[in-house]
């Protein structure tokens, strides 16, 4: 009987820790969870839609529109010259879409990217746009 009680208590403590600590691997959550949604929307623009789900509200936000020109890549040639073309130059149209869940006091509880593409400097344009590295 003591074993079951201790196991249940340990599981409850573990689950409580998971819900209060933002994911260290997600820079967007680390940057915005716990902050006011008003600050987010003031910085990045208003949401395109919202829906109430009990005591929470889920906002759909879209923004960060940017057109970038990605130059062609070439192989390293002999004597430092440019070698054979590896990839052609192209134009990329970047944008980000996220669902932001807020509590009744307008505090961000969860932020999840819905439409994300590789960015200019990494695997996630949304992370580059919504949680830029502090310099």
pLDDT digits (tens, 9 = 90+) for 40-92: 999 999 999 999 988 999 999 999 898 989 889 998 877 878 888 898 998 98
List CB contacts of 56: < 8 A, sequence separation 6 or more: 101, 102, 103, 104, 109
**Which tokens hold the place of 66?**
């940017």
Residue 128 pLDDT more than 90? no
State mean pLDDT over 115-124: 75
Instruction: Please state which of the ranges 3-7, 85-89, 120-124 shows the lowest mean pLDDT.
Output: 3-7
Bridge partners of 50?
59
């Amino acid at each position: 009987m003591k074993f079951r009680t201790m196991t249940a208590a340990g599981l409850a403590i573990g689950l409580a820790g998971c819900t209060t600590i933002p994911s260290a691997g997600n820079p967007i959550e680390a940057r915005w969870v716990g902050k006011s949604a008003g600050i987010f929307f003031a910085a990045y623009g208003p949401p395109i839609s919202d829906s109430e789900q009990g005591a929470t509200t889920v906002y759909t936000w879209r923004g960060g529109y940017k057109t970038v020109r990605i130059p062609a890549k070439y192989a390293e040639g002999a004597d430092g010259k440019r070698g054979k073309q590896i990839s052609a130059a192209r134009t990329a149209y970047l944008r980000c879409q996220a669902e932001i869940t807020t509590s009744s006091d307008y505090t961000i509880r969860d932020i999840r990217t819905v439409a994300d593409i590789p960015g200019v400097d990494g695997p996630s344009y949304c992370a580059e746009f919504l949680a830029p590295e502090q310099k």
